Amino acid sequence: MVRSMTGFGRGVTTTKHFQLTVEIRAVNHRFLEINTKFPKEWMESEVVAKKMLSDAVSRGKIDVIIFLKELHDTEQTIQINWSLLNAFLQAKKELSQTVPMEEKWTMQEIVSLDQVLQVEKIEFMQDEIIEAVKNALAEAIQNLIAMRDREGQGLQQVMLQYKKDLEAQIAEIRHYAPLAVEKYRERLMSRLEEVASGQTLDDRLLTEVAIYAERIDITEELDRLDSHFNQLSETLNENIAIGRKLDFIMQEMNREINTIGSKNQSTQCSAAVVQAKTILEKMREQVQNIE
């Protein structure tokens, strides 16, 4: 199965104290790179998250972001720093001896005093955090993979079409390649007939044609390309990460086509080689998107 490396997934879970949302964004990357943005006190759950992602995804740059929303009905308390408040009171008393001030303070004034009133944060249990991260992340991973699979189906169709186009160009090369030897023999015969004729020259002609035919023979390259086409078809149907394998197949096909281009210089073959290399480059670009 072809799976894209780009995608997005979101998962949400709710506990007694908070609602946790996990978002995963994935883009192309040669290897697997996981970046997480968790609160520093959530280190244990961050380790769990990276393990879950590395088990589910083989390649790509993965960014994981969490959003925590405390529930409104959660019980909260306010701590009063009495010693600091008394110090403010004493300071106000001393100032009031020289600066006119209201004798009483409003609640708004007290709240504005730095660090006098502090909302006590709820300390969430590590087990609750880890379980919430697992649940939300599992949903996000499922959605990410589903999106990658959908995009992968499109990539597979594109690759199959390019494969068909490339096979057509290779068929052109296979058809016109033998004609190059015959044309060379005719040209050589014509030049030799201008100079002389005879059995000796005919033997030399046959030897020269045989050497030329061997030098430009591309049978092995065409056979290897057939093998690569079969490997490509099989790989596109495998149920594992295939991006690196496809990249290797593309390199091997490019090598064979370059060799064919350097050996056979007929007009028709040269044109087909150019078209084949153009199609292959498009295929290699698409492979960079496959996990």
* Per-residue confidence in pLDDT tens, the chain, 291 aa: 799 999 999 999 998 888 999 999 999 998 999 999 888 888 899 999 999 999 999 999 999 999 988 776 556 677 777 887 778 777 777 777 777 766 677 777 677 777 777 766 666 778 888 999 999 999 999 999 999 999 999 999 999 999 999 999 999 998 887 776 666 666 666 655 655 555 455 566 566 656 665 666 788 889 999 999 999 999 999 989 999 999 999 999 999 999 988 877 678 888 999 999 999 999 999 999 999
Report the side by side order of strands in the sheet with 60-70: 7-14, 18-27, 60-70, 32-37
Domains and CATH numbers, the chain: 7-73+125-149 (3.30.230.10), 77-120 (no CATH), 151-287 (1.20.120)
- Of 137, 138, 119, 129, which is closest to residue 16 (Cα–Cα)? 129
Q: What are the two backbone dihedrals, phi and then psi, of residue 239, each rounded to the nearest 5 degrees?
A: -100, 40
Classify burial at 273, counting beta carbons within 10 Å of its beta carbon; exposed 0-12, middle 13-18, buried 19 or more. Answer: buried
Cα distance between residue 253 and residue 173, in whole Å: 14
The SS3 call for residue 21 is strand
Return left, alpha or beta for 151; rule: phi > 0 is left, psi -120 to 50 is alpha, else beta: alpha
